[in-house]
Chains A and B, each alone.
Chain A
Amino acid sequence: MSYNQPVADPLLIACLHCDLLQRLPDLQVGGSARCPRCNKELWRRREDDSLNRTLALTIAAALLYAIANSVPMLGLTIVGRDASTTVIGGAQHLWNNDQKIVGVLVLFTAVIAPALQIGLMLAIVLGAMRPSPPLWVGALLRYHPTTRIWSMIEVMMVGVLVALVKIADYATVIPGLALFVLWVLVFILAGMSASFDPREVWHRIEWADGEHRDAAGDFEGESV
């Protein structure tokens, strides 16, 4: 399969939800462009130091993730007996009780996908900050949206809340440190995704066909 020929105007795009051809307008910081036909947000201009902010949030997310997965999340006491579980412990229990597939799904959505989401983002941002961002940044950036879809920490937290209320009927529930850390992580991950501008990074990286490389990271001045 051969490489396609890119269009000459880098601001000319097609909406991914309705295929309408259009030219991206100049945007102020914080401004966003929407498709006139289907109203999909095409691009939102982040703050100028978007990469730095994303890096800070990603490092914070990595630390919180490490803590959240090494300490208990939920415990209970009932008539003098204690029990507690971690996130991984929940998946492990399913695996040990003949629910291997569901166990793997829980492990994937609650542990592996978030790790990939954070890890890939860290590599992408660090790579993109180099004076000439290498080809592998693009390869990782291609897979990043998939990890975001399957990373379901916020969904898990609502599930944990429901489980907590259910269990409170029978026993005294002891919220673990990981429970609080995970709630903070939910917001840090949302901020990480919101501050990251894939369009800016795509503009900076080395091209797969090795030809059309844009030297300038800033695409304000080169419109049309």
Chain B
Amino acid sequence: MTAMQQGLQSCESCGLLSRPAPGEEEGRCPRCDEELAFRKHSSYQRTWAYLIAAAVCYIPANVLPVLTTTTAAGADSDTILQGVVLLWSPTGWPLSIIVLVASIMIPSAKIVALAYLLITAQRGSVANNGQRIRMYRMVEFIGRWSMVDVFVDTFTAALIQLQPLMSVEPGPGLIFFAAVVVFTMLAVESFDPRLIWDSASMREADSKEVSYA
């Protein structure tokens, strides 16, 4: 039995369970004053919007250079992937893998995973609920780590200012990459994980009614 089926709303901020005033769909939490609803407001639309924005930014983030190195010999621009390759050395390979995972694999996996969660929930899927909620938690937990590359480029550029010998400047790809991270984090925030379970909860309630009849 779910809270929604009983006409109860739980507060996302303080966890209190409460009942809206008769005839009303939503109210405020009497304990912490948060606005309450059965499910997050227009969760599908907002999550899709952030996700599409992230997917659009993902392309320039990977195609445009994130760092430009200027030496006496000239200027050289690196994309994220080129940065990973440059970092690969007998001693640096573990860090190269960290950047590869955090900057390239996690953002793309996040976009695909969120799209999968949205599509299955919207189609009313009742299969693999346990797996899907684990996927949601993974995406929620891991998302922030994509910021690693932004910090790498920030501090590399801030330190290597040895004109005219050598200087490093952030490239035009950096803002798109940062946008991918922020948009996917906002998408996760907007998604209501309870939507994963709603079809299964409804079916469960129906089958119980049948068996009691």
| Cβ of A28 under 8 Å from chain B | no
Bound together, the chains give a CA A39 to CA B11 distance in angstroms of 19
CB-CB contacts below 8 Å: B9-45 with A: 9-10, 12-21, 24, 26-36
What total of chain A residues lie within 8 Å of the partner, measured CB to CB?
73
Contact A159 B17 (CB under 8 A): no
Most buried by B among A5, A39, A161: A5
Contact A142 B34 (CB under 8 A): yes
CB-CB contacts below 8 Å: A133-184 with B: 138-139, 141-142, 145, 149, 152, 155-156, 158-163, 165-167, 170-171
Bound together, the chains give a CA A219 to CA B27 distance in angstroms of 26
Bound together, the chains give a CA A5 to CA B92 distance in angstroms of 59
| Cβ of B159 under 8 Å from chain A | yes
When the two chains form the complex, which single residue of A92, A152, A167 contacts B160, counting CB atoms closer than 8 Å? A167
CB-CB contacts below 8 Å: B186-213 with A: 189, 193-194, 196-198, 201
| Cβ of B126 under 8 Å from chain A | no
Contact B9 A4 (CB under 8 A): yes
| Cβ of B130 under 8 Å from chain A | yes
- Hey, which chain B residues are within 8 Å of A20, CB to CB? 1-3, 197, 201
Contact B156 A18 (CB under 8 A): no
Contact A106 B151 (CB under 8 A): yes
- Hey, which chain B residues are within 8 Å of A165, CB to CB? 87, 91-92, 95
Other than the given A138-B14, A139-B33, 12 more pairs (CB < 8 A) read A3-B28, A5-B30, A16-B12, A19-B198, A20-B201, A38-B133, A76-B159, A89-B158, A90-B157, A159-B154, A167-B156, A208-B33
